[in-house]
Structure 1
Amino acid sequence: MKLFKELESVVLTLKFDSITPDRKVILQPLIDFIQDKHNDQKEVRLNLICTHNSRRSHLSQVWAQTAAAYYGIKNVFCYSGGTEATALFPVVAETLKQSGFKIHIIDEGNNPVYAIKYGDNEHPVIGFSKTYDHEFNPSSAFAAILTCSQADEGCPFISGAEKRIPIPFDDPKAFDNTPQQTEKYQERSLQIATEMFYIFSQIK
C-alpha cells in the first residue's frame, strides 16, 4: 500500500526500540485482539476513546488506520469517540498535515468534519467529535481502546465492546497556547504513530 511520499518518509523514521518493555506489555492485549480476529478472518473494529474525542483519540484512530493499511492487514476499521462530544482540535489536524496527511474539511461549523487521507487510492478517515456510542461508530464486536485515564475511569461499562484495553497517552492539551504547542503535539503524534505501527507490525 502506497502512502503519500512525505508521510512514508515520516513513517520510516519511527523507531520501535524507543518503546519501553513496560509499554510493550500495555500494548500486547491490543496486538492479541487484532491477531485473533485476523486469524479467524473476521473484521477488526477498534474504537479509540478519550474524554472529549478531540486530540489523542483522533491521533490514535488515524495512525492505527494508516498502520493497518501500511502493513496490509485487511478488514481493519478504526473509529473514535469520547465520553462527551466537543470538536476535533484544529492543532491536531495541523499536526497530521505536517506529517504528510492530506486533509479536507467536509463540513464547517462548531464540530467540523474532516476527511483525512494517507494515500491517493485509500478511503479517507472521517474525523469529527462524537460520543463513543454515536451511531457513526460500531455498536458491537469491537475493542474499546481507552487513550486517556479519565476515559478509562469515566467509562465503567462500554456497551457492545468485546474487549476493553487501556492504552493511555499524556494529553498535549497541557501545552495549548504555549511556545511548545507545535513541538509537543508533534511529539505526542509521533509517539502514537510509533506505537500503532509497532502493534500492526506484530500481526502475522
Structure 2
Amino acid sequence: MNILFLCTGNSCRSQMAEGWARALKPDVLTAYSAGIEKHGLNPYAVRAMQEAGVDIRGQQSQTVADIGPVEFDVVVTVCGHADENCPVFTGAPRVVHQPFDDPPRLAADLTDDEAKMAVYRRVRDEIRQYVESLPGSLDT
C-alpha cells in the first residue's frame, strides 16, 4: 500500500510518520511524506526519532510534486492546515485526517532543551501508536 503522510512543511510530523512506517511496516506500507511547502527537517524531530532507534536524517523535506508520479492508496493529513489545503491527487486516493499536535509550535516558548524534547517525544510516541495501527485502522 502506497501511503503519503502530508503536513504543512514536511519538517516534523509527516517526517516522523514516514520514519515509523518505514521502520515498523516495511512489508505492508510503502511510505512517503510531503508538505504543502518545504521547511527542511526539524532537528528536534530527527533527534527524537534517533532516540527511538529510527534514523530519518536521510529523508528530505519535499512537496507532493517533488515525489514524482506515485499513485497513493491513501493520504494521511497529520495537521489541520494540510487537511484544509490538501492538494488534488491523481488516482483519487482515500484521504484520512489524523491530526497530531505541532511540536515546533508547542515548544516555541520553551527555553529548556529538555522541555522542548519532551514535547517532541510525546508527539513521536503518538505517531508511532497510529502507525502501528495501520493499515487496519484505515478501515474504521
With the shorter chain as reference, the TM-score category is: 0.7 to 0.9
Q: Confirm or deny that 1:168 pairs with 2:96.
A: no
More strand by share: 1
Amino acid at match of 1:48: F
Tell me the alpha carbon deviations over residues 144-170 of structure 1, each in whole angstroms, 9 at most, x when there is no partner. 111111001012523444211111111
Tell me the residue number matched to 1:27. none
Identity of aligned residues (%): 25
Q: TM-score, normalised by structure 1?
A: 0.59
Distance in 2 separating the partners of 1:89 and 1:172: 10
Cα 1:169/1:137, change in 2 over 3 Å? farther
Alignment of 1:57-68 (within 5 A): 57-68=14-25
Contact 1:144 1:158 in 2 (8 A): no
Equivalent position SS for 2:84? helix
CA distance in 2: counterparts of 1:83 and 1:102, whole angstroms: 23
CA contact (8 A) 1:53 1:81 kept: yes
Q: What CA distance in whole angstroms lies between the structure 1 residues aligned with 2:77 and 2:33? A: 10
Equivalent pairs, count: 134
Deviation track 1:122-160 (CA, whole Å, cap 9, x = no partner) reads: xxxxx11110232x3553243111111100101252344
Q: Read off the aligned partner of 1:143 and give its amino acid letter.
A: V
Q: Distance in 2 between matches of 1:185 and 1:147?
A: 15
Which one of 172, 184, 187 corresponds to residue 119 of structure 2? 184
4+ long deviations beyond 6 Å: none
RMSD of Structure 2 on Structure 1 (CA): 2.2
* Aligned counterparts, 1:91-130, within 5 A: 91-102=44-55, 114-115=57-58, 127-130=59-62
- 3-state secondary structure, aligned to 2:2: strand
Note closer, same or farther for the CA distance 1:168–1:202 as it changes in structure 2 (3 Å cut). closer
- Runs (5+) with no aligned partner, structure 2: none
Give the equivalent residue in structure 2 for 1:12.
none
Letter in 2 for 1:95: A
User: Alpha carbons of 1:81 and 1:183: their partners in 2 closer, same or farther (altered >3 Å)?
Assistant: same
